Amino acid sequence: MGRSSSSVGPVILSGRGPLRAQIVPWPLRDEASRWLRDRGMSLRPRGAPLGVCIMTADFWGLKTAGGTATAYHLLAQALSLSPGLQVTFLAVTRHLQLCQEAITAQMDSQSRVDYRCLEPQHLSPPEIVETHPYEALSHAVLAWLDKNLDRCDLVHVHEWGGVFVDIITSAAYRQLKPGLRVVVEAHGGHFWSTQGSVQRPLDITSLRIDQAERMSLQLADALISPTAYMTAFLKQRAWRLPKTSLVIPNVMPSADSDAAAQGPMDKPVWRLAFFSRLEERKGLKLFVTAVAALQEAALQADARFEVFFIGSDARIDMQPSSQWLRAVTASWKAPVHIMANVPRSEALKVLNQEGLLLVLCSLVDNMPYVLAEAAVKQIPLVAFDVGGIYEMLDFSSNTEAIVLDTTVDGLTAKLTDTMTRGKIRTVQLSEHMMAGRDQWLKWHERYSNILSPQLEQEDLTVMVAVARANGRTVQVVRLKAVQPSLELQQAVCGDRDAVGRQPPEDAMLPLLLLPPGYAIIDEERTPALLAELLLVGAAMDNGVGALTFGVELSGGRVTWPSGPTWLLYGGDDSHCMESVPVLLRKGTFCSSFVAQARVFRTYHSWVLSMMLRRAGLRTHTFPRTLFRATNLTAGGASCNPDKAPAERHISFGSASNTLGDPEEVMTNLHLAPFPRPVSSLVADYPLEQGHKGWQVGYRAANSSEFRPLAWRESQERDAKRSDGAWGCADATQPYPAMLHSLIHPCVSTTGPSCCGLPYAAFNLRFQSFVTAPQGMLLMAYEVWPICGDGLDLEIRLTPSGGGQSRQLMWREITTNAKDKPQRQKVEMKVPLHAGDILDFIVHPRSNMDCDGIYIVDVQIWQDSGDAHTWETRRRKLMSDEGGLNGAFLH
């Protein structure tokens, strides 16, 4: 596959947009017909129904089915009523039996939707080395589509999880059939859905999913978003969206004719219902806190007041949310009904009860179907002003139902006012929302009658032009094991001053950078395919600067390199390859790979990807296996797909030389000015139990039972909420307590005055929500040795699952009134698993008096190396008093 003398020219389609097509010119029609015959293809006959395939990994029948499932089921049902459309619904999951049961429940004699599941052969070998949870599923969907192309002229998919990135990529490079287009509906991606969560997903696995979602939208033929809000959110993240981007609301549930005729009306309310997935992101904790604060007033207003929790079970504070709910509502005076994982029909029956007020306090939402269903059924509701809700309702005419202050205080005020009045006006969806069904039908009618035939012609134009321009030759550059960057650039591009003077046909030449240890599987056919992909990508103007491909491993396994690491993984902790085969144009390489900067002196695939990104181009994985790895090297811990490659920690000086736009740098500093701990007592100070893993309590003498303290707000005028303290429920017993970070245990010689006990050791607890094999504990504290007979500080670790607790440290602290406060430090490696418990126990002695410990900070680090980096940069932790704005433990 050496360099060819054949001219290779670009394929240019001036003024082209993804859904704006051109007709095949007369001179190319014979070639187009021959191209179709050679591949055994034919165009859709005029007047034949348009095959619409709706594919989704969220569908009715799953316990976790949500708004995306409802959107696609209602869309399928609406489109199936059009005689010009033939609708196939593909439910995508590895759990084939569950899928069959789910789609069987949707079938009826009246439905024209053809429901389908993946089949075993779509998930069969070759075995795929997965680097994120949806990778093998994406390949399985492509395998299904390859065998069902006759069903699909137009494909609808969601971006979530990157489940459909392989079919989107294949369609974008016109590798399926002429005229086939993939439209992505933006229902909210992986990162978007975590707004309001304690931690945002910035781990490597989540970044891989985010990469797949980003490329799903960048390469899609069109984007249809149910709200303008979602499109704006994606633009805010600087995602490249398709040129054809529309806003069409989801198909709304059918309205009850009587309710619709009546319009909004005042309805009595004396019940509250939380109806959503039982998780923190949906506002469950906010709702619980608000109800706890208002229940006295609600019961006084109406003795029938009761509360319903309806939704699929999740996890909160390391336990099932239904279990958590039972614990936190056990002391409520009002009746509580926890209905986790109940059938949808049963849930709707509860929501239709007289006197019920539906509360939608999700911290993040796009276009919640539960609001739409409640509106059309005239169910009273209140909703947070988040996401696209302002597009669903006219705020000026629905003021009673909208919570503009999306905090616990705002929710408490709105619910208290509503329950005290005992009535609220129902809402009405905007005309724009109710027109969604008609807009979808009209769009598909136009697509079927006008756009689809034109798009078939456009694809033939492209493919015939590509066939004419394809020199079927690729310049292969075989790299060294350690390839100097400057040497590579000079070998490919020649004199740096000559780069800009290269002839156009030379710049268009396909270039394959092939590291050692790789072989091309089919040397006869691969060059033509590689050249074709670059020509089509240029014609589509898709923003992809380089492609990489699947690699076959020993034993028949296949692995796919992907961002952000661009390593090749062997499926174990020990074997991977640092660089992968990369295809790009010679001109793209020579203009983007700036080896002369001398920052990255050795070539790697990830370095090239970074430089392409700076040039506004992306590296992407094409779903074909074209190479074989002859020898995977041992790479150590960096071969874990969910870990950042350890050896890629470049120096601060080198990294700083890659800084880009100053405003972007400043934004990144807000995200991470330096490595941060998993949790910090000071930075994440708990004003409620369980916040960021922290709990505040005490334990009796000779007891291991953790007993929680209560948070009491300060009664001082103009006090902040954080000025409160943790103490006994009985405020007349001042100790044990924690004020800011000053801790006091308690021992009494006058009776049970320590939360009802004669003795109470103070217990600060951290329950890990991460697994950190290289975890580290850093703690700095001061003792005020002015009175009493001293304290004992103990640190204990209890494994998750009820394992044996073990003592990590016991330190005796003897007081001396003549001494100054001494700052002490604890630093120890503590491997942690999710659910493990660290207890920091301050034991009093016989004469507590005013003995206490001031905690400068307690920090839990996921990686001991990061902890040492932080220590180097913040050495004032042990030298400057109050340097960390420490909290006080009393």
CATH number for position 157:
3.40.50.2000
CATH number of domain containing 839: 2.60.120.260
CA 430 to chain centre: 30
Residue 577 is assigned to a structural domain of this protein: yes
Following DSSP, what letter does each residue of 731-760 receive, concatenated?
TT---SEEETTEEE-EE-SSSS-BTTBSEE
Give me the residue label for tokens 């756009």: 451
Average pLDDT for 655-667: 76
Q: Is the pLDDT of residue 412 over 50?
A: yes
pLDDT computed for residue 888 by the predictor:
30
Contact predicate 75/68, CB 8 Å: no
Reported confidence tier of residue 884, pLDDT bands at 50, 70, 90? very low
Q: Give the SS3 label for residue 149.
A: helix
Q: Are residues 741 and 843 in the same domain?
A: yes
Cis peptide bond upstream of 120, omega within 30: no
CA atoms 394, 397, 398, 399: torsion sign = positive
Q: Are residues 236 and 265 in the same domain?
A: no
Choose between 190 and 651: higher pLDDT: 190
Average pLDDT for 474-497: 88
Q: How many CA atoms lie within 13 A of 9 on its CB side?
A: 7
pLDDT computed for residue 846 by the predictor:
78
Q: Are residues 247 and 271 in the same domain?
A: no
Q: Are residues 245 and 281 in the same domain?
A: no
Give me the residue label for tokens 């953790």: 706
Contact predicate 544/219, CB 8 Å: yes
Q: Is the pLDDT of residue 877 over 90?
A: no
- State the angle between helix axes of 26-38 and 452-469 in degrees (0 to 180), rounded to the nearest 10: 90
Comparing 106-115, 116-125, 297-306, the range with the smallest average pLDDT is: 106-115
Average pLDDT for 380-388: 94
Q: Is the pLDDT of residue 719 over 80?
A: no
Query: What DSSP designation does 863 have?
Result: B
Task: For 488, list phi and psi in degrees, rounded to 5.
Answer: -65, -45
Contact predicate 875/824, CB 8 Å: no
Q: Is the pLDDT of residue 33 over 80?
A: no
Comparing 8-17, 377-386, 535-544, 560-569, the range with the smallest average pLDDT is: 8-17
Residue 406 is assigned to a structural domain of this protein: yes
Average pLDDT for 241-252: 93
pLDDT computed for residue 382 by the predictor:
97
Contact predicate 393/427, CB 8 Å: yes
Residue 832 is assigned to a structural domain of this protein: yes
Cis peptide bond upstream of 686, omega within 30: no
Reported confidence tier of residue 811, pLDDT bands at 50, 70, 90? confident
Residue 664 is assigned to a structural domain of this protein: no
Q: Are residues 643 and 728 in the same domain?
A: no
The pLDDT tens digits of the residues spanning 455-473 come to 888 888 888 888 877 777 8
pLDDT computed for residue 7 by the predictor:
31
Contact predicate 423/400, CB 8 Å: no
Q: Is the pLDDT of residue 865 over 70?
A: no
Query: What DSSP designation does 545 have?
Result: E
Q: Are residues 268 and 413 in the same domain?
A: yes
The per-residue pLDDT of the chain, averaged, comes to 84
Residue 4 is assigned to a structural domain of this protein: no
The pLDDT tens digits of the residues spanning 692-711 come to 899 999 999 888 899 999 99
Q: Is the pLDDT of residue 881 over 50?
A: no
Contact predicate 652/659, CB 8 Å: no
Choose between 852 and 138: higher pLDDT: 138
Strand intervals (E) in 214-332: 222-225, 245-247, 266-268, 271-275, 306-311, 315-316, 319-320
pTM for the whole thing?
Answer: 0.75
Comparing 11-20, 349-358, 785-794, the range with the smallest average pLDDT is: 11-20
The β-bridge relationship of strands 746-747 and 759-767 is antiparallel
pLDDT computed for residue 783 by the predictor:
75
Cis peptide bond upstream of 83, omega within 30: no
Q: Is the pLDDT of residue 27 over 80?
A: no
Comparing 40-54, 768-782, 861-875, the range with the smallest average pLDDT is: 861-875
Average pLDDT for 791-812: 89
pLDDT computed for residue 823 by the predictor:
67
Following DSSP, what letter does each residue of 84-120 receive, concatenated?
TEEEEEEE--S-HHHHHHHHHHH--TT---EEEE--G
Alpha-carbon gap, residue 220 to 235, rounded angstroms: 15
Reported confidence tier of residue 879, pLDDT bands at 50, 70, 90? very low
The pLDDT tens digits of the residues spanning 490-539 come to 999 987 555 455 666 788 899 999 999 999 999 999 999 999 999 999 88
pLDDT computed for residue 71 by the predictor:
93
Percent of the chain with pLDDT over 90: 49
Q: Are residues 248 and 262 in the same domain?
A: no
Of 633, 652, 671, which residue is a domain's last? 652
Q: Are residues 247 and 217 in the same domain?
A: yes
The pLDDT tens digits of the residues spanning 55-105 come to 999 998 887 788 899 999 999 999 999 999 999 999 999 999 999 998 888
Q: Is the pLDDT of residue 758 over 50?
A: yes
Residue 884 is assigned to a structural domain of this protein: no
**Which residues form the domain of 852?**
679-714+721-879
pLDDT computed for residue 182 by the predictor:
96
Q: Is the pLDDT of residue 883 over 60?
A: no
Reported confidence tier of residue 716, pLDDT bands at 50, 70, 90? confident
Choose between 152 and 595: higher pLDDT: 152
Q: Is the pLDDT of residue 193 over 80?
A: yes
The pLDDT tens digits of the residues spanning 204-226 come to 888 999 999 999 999 999 999 99
Query: What DSSP designation does 249 have?
Result: P
Residue 771 is assigned to a structural domain of this protein: yes
pLDDT computed for residue 344 by the predictor:
78
Q: Is the pLDDT of residue 198 over 80?
A: no
Q: Are residues 560 and 646 in the same domain?
A: yes
pLDDT computed for residue 109 by the predictor:
59
Alpha-carbon gap, residue 816 to 432, rounded angstroms: 75
- Encode burial over 183-218: b for 16+ CB neighbours within 10 A, e otherwise: bbbbbbbbbbbbbbeeeeeeebebbbbbbbbbbbbb
Contact predicate 186/159, CB 8 Å: yes
The pLDDT tens digits of the residues spanning 264-312 come to 899 999 999 999 989 888 999 999 999 999 999 999 999 999 999 999 8
Q: Are residues 75 and 113 in the same domain?
A: yes
- State the angle between helix axes of 526-540 and 452-469 in degrees (0 to 180), rounded to the nearest 10: 130
Give me the residue label for tokens 């999951």: 93
Q: Are residues 173 and 239 in the same domain?
A: yes
Contact predicate 824/782, CB 8 Å: yes
Q: Residue 136 belongs to what H/E stretch?
A: helix 135-147
Number of Cβ within 10 Å of residue 266's Cβ equals 12
pLDDT computed for residue 259 by the predictor:
55
Choose between 590 and 506: higher pLDDT: 590
Following DSSP, what letter does each residue of 319-370 receive, concatenated?
EEHHHHHHHHTTT-SS-EEEEET--HHHHHHHHTSTTEEEEE--SS-SS-HH
Alpha-carbon gap, residue 2 to 478, rounded angstroms: 11
For the chain, what is the domain count?
Answer: 4
Percent of the chain with pLDDT over 70: 86
Q: Are residues 648 and 684 in the same domain?
A: no
Residue 630 is assigned to a structural domain of this protein: yes
Reported confidence tier of residue 815, pLDDT bands at 50, 70, 90? low
